Structure 1
Amino acid sequence: MLPLHPFRPRSLSLLQGYSRQRFIADLGAGFTVGIVALPLAIAFAIASGVKPEQGIFTAIIAGFLISALGGSSVQIGGPAGAFIVVIYGIVQRYGLANLLIASMLAGCLLTVMGALRLGAWVRYIPVSIVIGFTNGIAVLIGLSQLKDFLGLPIAHMPADFFSQIHLIAQHLGQINPMALLVGSACVAIVSLWPKTYAMERGALAWRARLRHSMALLPGTVIALVAATLACYGLDLPLETIGSRFGGIPQALPSFAWPSFSWTGVKQLLMPTLTLTLLGAIESLLCARVADKLSEQPRHDPNQELMAQGIANLLTPLFGGIPATGTIARTVTNVRAGASSPVAGMVHALVLLIIVLVAAPLAAHIPLAALAGILLVVAWNMGEWHEFARLRHFSLPYRTILLGTFGLTVIFDLMIAVEAGLVLACLFFIYRMSTLFTVQVLPSQGLPPGTRALKLFGSLFFAAVGKVEGLSQALQAGEHTLVLDMHMLISMDSSGLDALLQLQRSLQKQGQTLLLCGLNEQPASLIQRGGLAEALGPQGIHGDFTQWLASAKAASL
């Protein structure tokens, strides 16, 4: 029976050696991340097609649970940019209630994956697939924000890529110059504002100290506050959170069980798998980034998956959307001095206090400002330099990356990942089959009537064609075929069947097959598969050199 992974949240380690200094550092980091998370949570929710408070409630509930129960010391969880396109598509096709159910089902799957110790398997997804769908999602996020960034009078944006482009092109003559100006200003502020994670350490000149002081307030907050004050004070003709959603409620999230039906659940298989796979990949990639930046112990991938699962199972009960690890907020958390999950829990409490105190102010936030912020998020999410580096890589790598990117943009993330994995497997199989070779050994020194071949690599189903024709390798007067297999590292049942067929063909022709130098795995399969019995006691030898010496001695 497969042993289950023990449930050991990293926060339990706080009981050992947690000091007042660490708590103060975590408190400061949590406050910083909470401020950073506020505009992103609102922007991600609106871009996903749900109400802004759902993003904030997700950051509060899921963010607290992921930090409290996770396997990383410094990872911050919440709504993520990678989920925007997926959530928007699910809401458009299946409705909000089914999104909440799919999120809960994905939470169950993530919990089971962690309990069954499948966290390490997520790392085996090829990097070309990860880069492909990440860049594809970034393109879709950027495209989805053009409506509000340009102030286009479009009531409803479709989920399809080409339909979005067509609809935006139809309304380009109706651009709101003020929305474009505000959105562009936000892009400039967020891009050019000093970043804490880019700051130098140690003794600094006054200009560097000034930049340090400025970086304490994130550029996203500065852009959001400036745009909101301008919109409210100058009465700019811009659509705001208040005009579209009626503002953000100044209250705690309430428990509500989503409407449930088995008929609806049957349609949610692919959305659930998409949320599960994306959540697992994003959270564990984020945790690995945190490990590189932080001096804290490495994360536990299985515990992290269980925490992500529990968070996604419970958050929808309070109206929240899918959540995962978030790289930007995690990096900010590490750079701000976080040393334990307390920082993540503090960040959730800071968001809760902001909602209870200042929620009415959010009604004046212009949507063009949020669109500008998300355009920067989309740009930073994409690894665009990888396209320029493609010429340095092999054709399989380029095909997988570009194929995954194109399918993500045009069709669907799950289709893209599935196709990418199939392509990766096919290319891997082809590559492994080319590594299997058969080399003819020199005939000098061999006993009369003998032909010797050496096998290299792995004899599996894609390489058996190189063995099937060996029965015709013996020339006139040759009665024995010797296979030196000490360089054969593995063999599958198809390889075994090919050797059985070779032995039978040679036997019908009155010829003999001998095997030498078997490694452990091929030797075990040959014994269990009946080939050893068919060859007889003299058909298998320990070493080709020893066999050759004994064969020469016998011929004298």
Structure 2
Amino acid sequence: MKWTGQFSGYSASAFRKDLISGCIVGIVAIPLGMAFAIASGVKPEYGLYTTIIAGILISLLGGSRFQIGGPTGAFIPILLAIVIQYGYENLLIAGFLAGIFLVLMGLLRLGSLIRFIPKPVTVGFTSGIAVIIFSGQISNFLGLQGVERHEYFFYNMKEIVLRISSMNLYSVLIAAICLTTLIITPKYLPKVPGSLVGIIVSTLIAALLFPGKVTTIGSAYGIIPGGLPQFAPLELTWDRVVMMLQPALIIAMLGSIESLLSAVVADEITGTRHNSNRELIGQGVANMATPLFGGIPATGAIARTATNIKSGAVSPISGIIHGVVVLMIVVLFAPYASNIPLASMAPILMVVAWNMSEYKTFTHMLRTRTTDSLILLVTFLLTVFTTLTVAVQAGLALAVILFIKRMSSMLAVNKVLPDHSSNKEKVQPHMVTEDRDCPQIGIYNVEGTLFFGASYTFESFGQKLLAAPDLRVVLLRMGKVPFMDTTGESNFSRLINRLMERGVVVIISGIRPQPKKLLVKTGCYSMIGEDRFFEHTGEALNYALENIQYNKCLGCTQYAFRECSKLSTKGILNDKHIS
């Protein structure tokens, strides 16, 4: 879809809908932008600048009609850790480098790869982030004094316990008022942003009834400056760039996951389809531009995107308007936001954490008690108690290991014989018994993927074959082997070679295109011989019967095939046809 396709057929009626939705989302985004910035360890105005610049650029250049970009809760633990360890200036460099990574991911068309991240991993780290955000606001909710921010959950909880004696009852009351407003506003005023109402009500009560009793944004971070965001070039040095490469990559990976998940949610609601690679490029450009104005990393915001759609948006114009609305409010009213109590911001982030926790999906996955439950739990716990990087790496590694284990257990090699009671005489495993088996011909169904994880299963099968003393012919039915990798091919070729060294004739039937192509490339196909590859089992079995030692059939009472009764008494092959 071309970029201009998002605006094709655009009309005045569509603009009115975008204008309304853009204004609504812009108002919703203001308290969230400040709250996310404060929780990330930076000044609240930087969250507003991010909302303005990233919001406009993501809508303008991204691959989704309805995506709303800006600071999000998912970034809070990562950004806070970077600020604590490296400082705010280096956070800007990390955000800029993350933007470069995102653009490269889009240009290399890696957008579709995000779909391969397992659901338990995404739910696990999302729920873990929600716990970190929620717990990080306890100190502001209670109005604790002298609390130091730490990178790890355990130390932050310890800090709260140590400072609990400094609890401010006025802060608790203001936070409770804001929380109550957040809960009841959607019930009675569903079209009014609850976060905005909560902040206004609680701020007015604090200013009129408890002046100077609670910590405000102004007293903690200084007055929020009005006016336009100021351009400030980054102080890039080689040492700083190298130092921030890993944090930048983490930001880029999380940003790509979060933004594409948001775009998918938008697609599900509207029935449209986004362009994942263009979305990554748009996200990348936005994250390269935002740090130049002091903004923090941004990505697609699922809740604001859903609000945008429900408010009637029809094109990316609504996202651009949302950024312009925030800009106008910052220019005109920013200093007044300095009077907002930090206790009023805490409930907003707590509600955000609760909504992003995916607790229903989390509990559902946990109750299934499958390997996915283990992946979910490990990712969640590591997100909370270590870092997001460790959690995602461990979750993905565990998912891969368990997937390989499942796939390897799905490879099955069963000995079969024709079932003469059926019309088509299909070969079946249950036809092989102690009293009915051919010592010279072994027919085997190979079912599953022949890859490195299944090497043990295939090697065990090979050892049994090589231990059969009278074996003359092996017929491998490979119609149910969809894929073979180089490790599987190596094990396969080694077994074939050892069988042929013993004088055993190897025949293949029903081989599929991918395994056949690989065998041709490696030379195994020519080693077996083109004349020993058959499309159907019946043809392959006729060939097999031509290559046995008939004298060993004399006196045999196994009667595995129709021809066995004649071969057992005469030792000659009168009828070579097998239906």
TM-score of the superposed pair, with normalisation by structure 1: 0.92
Partner of 1:510: 503
Change (3 A) 1:26 1:377: same
Q: Which residues of 2 match residues 290-439 of structure 1 at below 5 A? A: 290-294=266-270, 297-439=272-414
Partner of 1:278: 254
1:534 and 2:509 aligned: no
Change (3 A) 1:135 1:243: same
Partner of 2:110: 118
Distance 1:175 1:58 in 2: 32
Residue type of the partner of 2:260? L
Residue type of the partner of 1:419? A
1:231 and 2:206 aligned: yes
Change (3 A) 1:14 1:165: closer
Partner of 2:485: 492
Alpha-carbon RMSD across the aligned residues, in angstroms, is: 1.9
User: What per-residue deviation string (whole Å, max 9, x for no partner) do you get for residues 123-170 of structure 1?
Assistant: 111111110000000000011111111100024211211110111011
- The offset of 1:348, in angstroms, is 0.8
Change (3 A) 1:434 1:340: same
Distance 2:404 2:500 in 1: 31
1:522 and 2:515 aligned: yes
Distance 1:340 1:537 in 2: 59
Larger Rg: 2
SS at match of 2:481: strand
Residue type of the partner of 1:248? I
Change (3 A) 1:538 1:459: same
1:46 and 2:49 aligned: no
Q: Is the 8 A contact 1:230 1:236 kept in 2?
A: no
Partner of 1:166: 158
- The offset of 1:514, in angstroms, is 2.2
Q: Which residues of 2 match residues 146-161 of structure 1 at below 5 A? A: 146-161=138-153
SS at match of 1:414: helix
Partner of 1:459: 450
Partner of 1:255: 231
Change (3 A) 1:15 1:477: closer
Distance 2:63 2:361 in 1: 30
Q: Is the 8 A contact 1:270 1:414 kept in 2?
A: no
- The offset of 1:391, in angstroms, is 4.7
Distance 2:516 2:197 in 1: 68
Q: Is the 8 A contact 1:70 1:304 kept in 2?
A: yes
- The offset of 1:445, in angstroms, is 9.2
Distance 1:507 1:553 in 2: 17
- The offset of 1:241, in angstroms, is 0.8
SS at match of 1:117: coil
Q: Is the 8 A contact 2:227 2:332 kept in 1?
A: no
Q: Is the 8 A contact 1:503 1:512 kept in 2?
A: no
Residue type of the partner of 2:395? G
Q: Is the 8 A contact 1:447 1:551 kept in 2?
A: no
User: What per-residue deviation string (whole Å, max 9, x for no partner) do you get for residues 235-280 of structure 1?
Assistant: 1500001111112101111111122222222222321111011111
TM-score of the superposed pair, with normalisation by structure 2: 0.88
Distance 2:545 2:195 in 1: 82
Counterpart pick for 2:197 among 222, 242, 249: 222
SS at match of 2:483: strand
Residue type of the partner of 2:61? L
Residue type of the partner of 1:311? A
Q: Is the 8 A contact 2:33 2:47 kept in 1?
A: yes
Q: Is the 8 A contact 1:147 1:154 kept in 2?
A: no
Change (3 A) 1:21 1:97: same
SS at match of 1:130: helix
Partner of 2:126: 134
Partner of 1:69: 61
SS at match of 1:249: coil
User: What per-residue deviation string (whole Å, max 9, x for no partner) do you get for residues 17-66 of structure 1?
Assistant: 11111111111111111111111111111111001110001000110111
Distance 1:421 1:14 in 2: 35
- The offset of 1:342, in angstroms, is 1.0
User: What per-residue deviation string (whole Å, max 9, x for no partner) do you get for residues 178-220 of structure 1?
Assistant: 111111221121122116xxxxxxxxxxxxxxx4xx2332111
Distance 1:358 1:468 in 2: 73
Change (3 A) 1:236 1:92: same
Change (3 A) 1:538 1:18: closer
| Larger displacement relative to structure 2 (303-312 or 254-263) | 254-263
Change (3 A) 1:446 1:537: farther
User: What per-residue deviation string (whole Å, max 9, x for no partner) do you get for residues 87-142 of structure 1?
Assistant: 10101011111111111111011111112211111111111111000000000001
Unaligned runs of 5+ in 1: 1-5, 196-210
User: What per-residue deviation string (whole Å, max 9, x for no partner) do you get for residues 284-319 of structure 1?
Assistant: 111111122225x32111111111000000010000
- The offset of 1:503, in angstroms, is 2.1
Q: Which residues of 2 match residues 73-112 of structure 1 at below 5 A? A: 73-112=65-104
Partner of 2:428: none
Distance 2:471 2:250 in 1: 59
Q: Is the 8 A contact 1:471 1:506 kept in 2?
A: no
Distance 1:364 1:173 in 2: 25
Change (3 A) 1:552 1:50: same
1:543 and 2:536 aligned: yes
SS at match of 1:298: coil
Residue type of the partner of 2:363? A
SS at match of 1:73: coil
Distance 2:521 2:84 in 1: 55
Residue type of the partner of 2:54? A
SS at match of 1:215: coil
| Larger displacement relative to structure 2 (380-389 or 321-330) | 380-389
Distance 2:276 2:200 in 1: 38
Residue type of the partner of 2:240? G
- The offset of 1:507, in angstroms, is 3.0
Partner of 2:220: 244
Q: Is the 8 A contact 2:121 2:395 kept in 1?
A: yes
Distance 1:259 1:312 in 2: 16
- The offset of 1:13, in angstroms, is 3.3
1:191 and 2:183 aligned: yes
Q: Is the 8 A contact 1:102 1:271 kept in 2?
A: yes
- The offset of 1:504, in angstroms, is 2.6
| Larger displacement relative to structure 2 (163-172 or 522-531) | 522-531
Change (3 A) 1:272 1:79: same
SS at match of 1:356: helix
Residue type of the partner of 2:486? S
Q: Is the 8 A contact 1:103 1:312 kept in 2?
A: yes
Distance 2:365 2:59 in 1: 37
Distance 2:245 2:331 in 1: 37
- The offset of 1:387, in angstroms, is 3.6
Identity fraction in percent: 42
Q: Is the 8 A contact 1:105 1:313 kept in 2?
A: yes
Distance 2:480 2:436 in 1: 21
Partner of 1:203: none
